[in-house]
Amino acid sequence: MPDRTAVADAADVVYIYDGSFEGLLSCVFESYARKEIPSDIVPEEQYELSLYPTRFIETNHLHFERVKKGVADKIGKDALTAIWKGYLCSWEGKEIAILHFIRMGMRDGRRVIYDLANDYVGRLMKSNTTLWNEAHHYMGFVRFSVYENNAMVSVIEPKHKILPIIKDHFIDRYKNESFLIYDKTHRYALIYSKGRNIIIPADDYSPPQMSGEEQKLHDMWKLFYETIEIKERRNERCRMTMMPKRFWSQLHEMSGNKEANI
């Protein structure tokens, strides 16, 4: 097992990967193989020319599997899940933090996930919470429109890749329905129909025109939303805390609201 002291501090090299989870763990493998800690790891999408030399890390399924198994055996399945969720969440420096987390865990074992006071561990665990919070928000804020063939469609704009997290919830909820949730930010979609589901990249998707009947239901919901408010207790700030403006454009009841840009 490589001793941390045997590794140069931070090598003057930037790893570039394809942005997938497999690709990220391939980078971790590469870091062990070359006995170096890159100064940064960036997905190719976000790469901007830098002074450091770069190394493109090819996604390698075997390497991915080895790192995955190593993490699961040595640090535990919880840690593997935490890393995966950390990857789904968007945060500054996540790749490097995950690399260090894995290196610490391979050295110290399972207790590393309790070491919340450590910067890398703390931020990784915090990203898990952030991801879950947004996923939980969207369990409530996803809005479906129903089309003539009974298909349900929703378009969302989350900050993080929450589709894999909310998948089970919506499948369980609408088991006998067909639905599509399109993530506009990360340009991929969850499609479910008749017991089968798939998550696929989709570049540009816009839902079809909805029927008059459907519009009526949206209006009824908006009417309910406006009626249920107790005007004597109006509290703009509280609403904004609970339901930040970034969600408004996706909510039927906020359509026509000055702040929402539909």
Partner 1 sequence: METSQKLQILADAAKYDVACTSSGADRSSDGFSMGNAMASGICHSFSGDGRCISLLKVLMSNACAYDCAYCLNRRSNDVPRATFTPRELADLTMNFYRRNYIEGLFLSSGIIKNPDYTCERMIETLKILREEYRFGGYIHAKAIPGADSLLLQRIGYLADRMSVNIELPSQKSLVTLAPDKSKSSILKPMGFIRDSISQNKNELVRYKSTPKFASAGQSTQMIIGATPETDYSILKLSEALYGKYSLKRVFYSAYIPVSENPLLPALTTEPPLLREHRLYQADWLLRFYGFSADEILSEQTPDFNPLLDPKCNWVVNNMHRFPVEINSAPKEELLRVPGIGVKSVFKILQARRSCKLSFESLKKLGVVLKRARFFITCGGEFDPAVSFSPQEAANALISNSDMKKFRQKEQYEQIDFLSQPPALPQREDYFKCLTGQL
Which residues in this chain contact partner 1 in the complex, by CB under 8 A?
A: 111, 114-119, 122, 126, 136, 139-146, 152, 154, 169, 172-177, 216-221, 223-239, 241-243, 251-253
Closest Cα partner for 109 from 1, 34, 29, 238? 1
Smallest distance from partner 1 to CB 84, Å: 21
CB nearer to partner 1: pick between 47 and 144: 144
Q: Which residue has tokens 């993490």?
A: 71
Contacts of 175 (CB under 8 A, 6+ apart): 195
Question: What are the structure tokens assigned to 104, written together?
Answer: 């610490």
CB nearer to partner 1: pick between 10 and 223: 223
What sign results for the dihedral spanned by CA atoms 160, 164, 168, 174?
A: positive
CB nearer to partner 1: pick between 144 and 188: 144
Smallest distance from partner 1 to CB 178, Å: 12
Q: Which residue has tokens 């399972």?
A: 110
Smallest distance from partner 1 to CB 162, Å: 14
Smallest distance from partner 1 to CB 70, Å: 21
Smallest distance from partner 1 to CB 68, Å: 24
**The amino acid at 22:** E
CB nearer to partner 1: pick between 17 and 170: 170
CB nearer to partner 1: pick between 17 and 120: 120
CB nearer to partner 1: pick between 31 and 130: 130
Smallest distance from partner 1 to CB 66, Å: 27
CB nearer to partner 1: pick between 74 and 126: 126
Bridge partners, 180 (sequence order):
153, 191
| DSSP-based three-state secondary structure for 11 | strand
What sign results for the dihedral spanned by CA atoms 212, 215, 217, 220?
A: negative
Helix (H) or strand (E) holding 38: strand 38-43
Q: Where are the alpha helices (DSSP H) in 53-118?
A: 61-74, 77-88, 94-108
CA distance 196 to 200: 13
**Residue 3's Cα: distance from chain center in Å?**
33
Smallest distance from partner 1 to CB 52, Å: 29
